[in-house]
Structure 1
Amino acid sequence: MRKLFSALVVFCCMLFSVSMCFAALDDQKGPGEHGIQVTDRPAIYYEAYLHDKGWSQRCGEMTAAGDPYGANSLDALRVYVDLNPYLDILYHVHVAGGEWSSWVANGQTAGAPGVPIDAVEISLGGRAAMFFSVSYKVLVEGKGWQDWVPMGDTAGDFSGKIKSIRIKLD
């Protein structure tokens, strides 16, 4: 009986050791291995502050935020990424006749009401950033829509106010 009890204790210790090894490995897992898949496509939303009109409605991917058919320029921008806690959206704006704002992330405001912007840069961060990229384009007053630019590049030409923006995840 003593041998059986000893064998059972040894077996339980081994089982406990093996389960602790798997628990340690689970703590080292990357994003997506805890129920959320990094390859699941996140949703991107954004809104623009229109000069003299206030915040636009929240727009979905590739929808024009701003005033593409009117006279109002963009003064500020907020961008959000949903469905992936391991992905951050980072962005900043260039103020017409001024300087770049500080980089902000995940729905924070870049820019200030009353001061038009003339350029934007957007990038991704976080553990899942290697799986996605972002591109964007702007409508420059008097010049029309510019081409899509890849993340980190400048959209806008520092000489005309931005009236609208479109953003997409690639």
Structure 2
Amino acid sequence: MKLNGNVSKKYNVYYRVHVQDYGWLDWAKNGESAGTIGLSKRIEAIEVKLVKKGENAPGATNRPCVEPKLEYSTHIQDYGWQGSKYDGEISGTIGESKRLEAIKINIKNAKYAGSIKYQTHIQDIGWQENKSNGEISGTSGLSKRLEAIKISLTGEMSEKYDIYYRVHAQDYGWLGWACNGQSAGTEGMSKRLEAIEIQLVKKGANAPGDTNNCFYKK
């Protein structure tokens, strides 16, 4: 949405949208994108305001448009592959005592060169070799639990972003946030992973939460 002619010299046009599952997003202005990209979410309402040049925006302007950077999916005991989750959403289950058996992770809409790699610790197997860019890490049809995971970025992506992740582990609940290849989960304790959250954070910015106690090893 843009203004034309003389009015565009005196005013900025601000607009925000109410999106399925997200609610109100932040304010966009003067032709910026508002809504979601690649998530199949409908716009349910829109608000538009004219603001004089030089005056403050009507509200927050941090996230007027949601375009996922990360896509991940887990294979869950008794359920199989769960639908894709994005950018910090929970993949897996909580309170159902279901083990994660495999995971695949991919970077979406990458603006920088590089990839994502990840490694899982599997019941009776130990640390599996690194997988990357949507490959399956773990097992399917073997009833083996994931017990821990490491995730890291490569190339220019690793220079621009930190990758944070935390797991929900049997008997522990949510552990602290691990970062850039650290182990998250448990090793040698026979505890299943039940859910995971993954987030990309701009390099050097604050962690999404507590980073203590992200991993336990016996």
- Is the CA contact (8 Å cut-off) linking 1:44 and 1:169 kept in structure 2? yes
CA offset digits 1:68-126 (Å, max 9, x no partner) = 12121100000010111613110010012431111010100000022111000000012
Tell me the equivalent position of 1:88.
115
Structure 1: state its 5+ residue gaps: 1-40
- Is the CA contact (8 Å cut-off) linking 1:44 and 1:81 kept in structure 2? yes
- Separation in structure 1 between the aligned mates of residue 68 and residue 162 of structure 2, nearest angstrom: 11
Partner AA of 1:167 in structure 2: I
CA offset digits 1:53-82 (Å, max 9, x no partner) = 100110011111011121211000000101
Percent identity between matched residues is 24
- Separation in structure 2 between the aligned mates of residue 103 and residue 86 of structure 1, nearest angstrom: 19
Give the structure with the larger strand fraction: 2
CA offset at residue 42 of structure 1? 6.5
CA offset at residue 129 of structure 1? 1.9
Tell me the equivalent position of 2:184.
155
The 3-state SS of whatever aligns with 1:123 is strand
- Is the CA contact (8 Å cut-off) linking 1:91 and 1:122 kept in structure 2? yes
The 3-state SS of whatever aligns with 1:127 is helix
- Is the CA contact (8 Å cut-off) linking 1:81 and 1:87 kept in structure 2? no
Pick one of 67, 70, 73 that aligns with 1:44: 70
Pick the structure with greater CA Rg.
1
The 3-state SS of whatever aligns with 2:70 is strand
Tell me the equivalent position of 2:158.
129
TM, length-normalised to structure 2? 0.57
Tell me the equivalent position of 1:33.
none
- Separation in structure 2 between the aligned mates of residue 135 and residue 97 of structure 1, nearest angstrom: 27
The 3-state SS of whatever aligns with 1:130 is helix
After TM superposition, list the pairs within 5 Å mapping 1:27-66 onto structure 2. 43-66=69-92
- Is the CA contact (8 Å cut-off) linking 2:68 and 2:87 kept in structure 1? no
Give the structure with the larger helix fraction: 1
Tell me the equivalent position of 2:172.
143
- Separation in structure 1 between the aligned mates of residue 136 and residue 162 of structure 2, nearest angstrom: 21
Tell me the equivalent position of 2:41.
none
The 3-state SS of whatever aligns with 2:96 is coil
Give RMSD over aligned pairs: 1.5
Count the aligned residue pairs: 130
Corresponding position: 1:74 with 2:100: yes
* More contact order relative to length (CA 8 Å, sep ≥ 6): 1
